[in-house]
Chain A
Amino acid sequence: MRRPLFVKIFLGVCASFLFVTYFVWFEDSLLKQSPSRTTAVQAQIALAGASSIVRLGGEDALRKELTTWPKERQYMTFERIDGKSAPAPDPVHGLYTATVKDSQGRSFALLYHVTRFDGYVSPPLPLDMGPHAILGTLIGILVFSGLLTFYLTAPISRIRAGFGRLASGDLKVRLGSDWLRRRDEIGDLAADFNKMATRLEELVMSRDRLLADISHELRSPLARLHLAIALARQSPDKALQSLERIGCEADKLEEMVSELLALSKLESGARTSDQYFFVSEIAALVVDDARFEAQEKGATIDFVTNGRGSEALVVGSGKLISRAIENIVRNALRFSRRGETITVELDSTAAGTTLYIRDQGPGVKAEQLESLFEPFVQADPANGQGYGLGLAIAKRAIVAHGGTISAVNGATEGLTIILWLPAAPDAPEAGDEAKSVWDRSVSPAPV
Chain B
Amino acid sequence: LARLKAVLRRQRGSQPPQYFLAGKLRLIPSRREVSFDGKTFELTTCEFDLLEALLRSRDTVATKDDLSLSVLGRRREPYDRSIDVHVSNLRKKLSAISGKTIEVETVRAVGYRLKVTA
Give chain A's interface residues, CB within 8 Å of chain B. Answer: 274-278, 281-282, 285, 313, 318-319, 322, 427-428, 433-434, 436-439, 441-442, 444-445, 447
Contacts of B78 in A (CB 8 A): 281, 285, 444-445, 447
22 A-B residue pairings within 8 Å (CB atoms) = A274-B82, A275-B77, A275-B81, A276-B81, A276-B84, A276-B85, A277-B80, A278-B79, A281-B78, A285-B78, A313-B85, A322-B79, A428-B85, A428-B89, A437-B85, A437-B88, A438-B84, A439-B84, A439-B109, A441-B109, A444-B78, A445-B78
B92 within 8 A of A: yes
Which one of B79, B81, B89 contacts A285 once the chains associate, using CB atoms below 8 Å? Answer: B79
Whether A275 lies near B88 (C-beta < 8 A) is: no
Task: Flag if B109 contacts A278 (CB, 8 Å).
Answer: no
Interface size on B, residues (CB 8 A): 16
Whether the pair B79, A439 counts as a contact (CB closer than 8 A) is: no
Q: Which residue of B is nearest A321, CB measured?
A: B79
- Give 14 A-B pairs besides A278-B81, A285-B78, A437-B87 with Cβ atoms closer than 8 angstroms: A276-B81, A276-B85, A277-B82, A278-B79, A281-B78, A281-B79, A318-B80, A428-B88, A433-B91, A434-B88, A437-B84, A438-B81, A439-B84, A442-B109
CB distance from A238 to the nearest CB of B (A): 45
Q: Which of B81, B88, B89 contacts A277 (CB 8 A)?
A: B81
Given A437-B106, A441-B108, answer yes or no on A428-B92 (Cβ-Cβ < 8 Å). yes
A318 / chain B contacts, CB cutoff of 8 Å: 77, 79-80
Tell me which residues across on chain A come within 8 A of B79, comparing CB atoms: 277-278, 281-282, 285, 318, 322, 444
The chain B residue sitting closest to A445, CB to CB, is B78
- Closest Cβ of chain A: how far from B44's Cβ, in Å? 11
Task: Please report the C-alpha to C-alpha distance between residue A274 and residue B77 in the assembled complex, in whole angstroms.
Answer: 13
* Cα–Cα, bound, A275→B46 (Å): 12
User: Which has the most chain B C-beta neighbours within 10 Å: A285, A319, A439, A441?
Assistant: A439
Could you tell me the distance between the alpha carbons of A428 and B104 in the complex, rounded to whole angstroms? Answer: 16
What CA separation (Å) do A441 and B109 show in the bound complex?
A: 7
CB distance from A310 to the nearest CB of B (A): 15
The contact of A276 among B82, B91, B109, by CB within 8 Å, is B82
Q: Shortest CB–CB separation between residue A411 and chain B, in angstroms?
A: 33
Q: Is the CB of B109 within 8 A of A275?
A: no
B56-88: which have CB < 8 Å to A? 77-82, 84-85, 87-88
In the bound complex, what is the Cα–Cα distance between A228 and B109 (angstroms)? 53
Residues in A with CB closer than 8 Å to B91 are 433, 437
Given contacts A275-B77, A275-B80, A278-B81, are A433 and B109 in contact (CB under 8 A)? no
Chain B min CB distance to A256 (Å): 26
List the 6 shortest-distance A-B pairs measured between CB atoms, nearest first: A276-B85, A276-B81, A281-B79, A428-B88, A277-B79, A437-B88
Q: B112: nearest residue on chain A (CB-CB)?
A: A437
CB distance from A443 to the nearest CB of B (A): 9
Nearest CB on B from A126, distance (A): 67
Nearest CB on A from B110, distance (A): 9
Q: What A residues does B88 contact at CB under 8 A?
A: 428, 433-434, 437
Cα distance A436–B79 in the bound complex, in angstroms: 17
Closest Cβ of chain A: how far from B84's Cβ, in Å? 5
A194 to B81, CA, bound (A): 44
- Docked Cα-Cα span, A445 to B84, in Å, equals 18
A278 to B77 CA separation, bound complex (whole angstroms): 12
Q: How far does the Cβ of B28 sit from chain A's closest Cβ, in whole Å?
A: 26
Known interface pairs A276-B85, A428-B88, A434-B88; A439-B106 also in contact (CB < 8 Å): yes
Given A428-B92, A439-B106, A319 and B77 contact (CB-CB distance below 8 Å): yes
Taking a contact as CB atoms under 8 Å apart, the answer to whether B80 and A276 are in contact is yes
A12 to B5, CA, bound (A): 87
Residues A433 and B92 in contact in the complex (CB < 8 Å), given A319-B77, A439-B108: yes
How close is A359's CB to chain B, nearest CB, in angstroms?
Answer: 24
* A346 CB, nearest partner CB in chain B, Å: 14
Nearest Cβ in chain A — how far from B109, in angstroms? 5
A281 to B78 alpha-carbon distance, docked (Å): 8
Chain B residues whose CB sits within 8 angstroms of the CB of A278 once the complex forms: 79, 81
- Residue of chain B at shortest CB distance from A428: B88
Residues from chain B with a CB closer than 8 A to the CB of A436 are 106
- Chain B 94-118 residues near chain A, CB threshold 8 A: 106, 108-109
A residues near B77, Cβ cutoff 8 Å: 275, 277, 318-319
Residue of A nearest to B77 (CB): A318
User: Closest Cβ of chain B: how far from A445's Cβ, in Å?
Assistant: 8
CB distance from A313 to the nearest CB of B (A): 6
Q: Within 8 Å CB of A437, what residues of B?
A: 84-85, 87-88, 91, 106
- Interface centre among B79, B87, B92, B106, by most A CB within 10 Å? B79
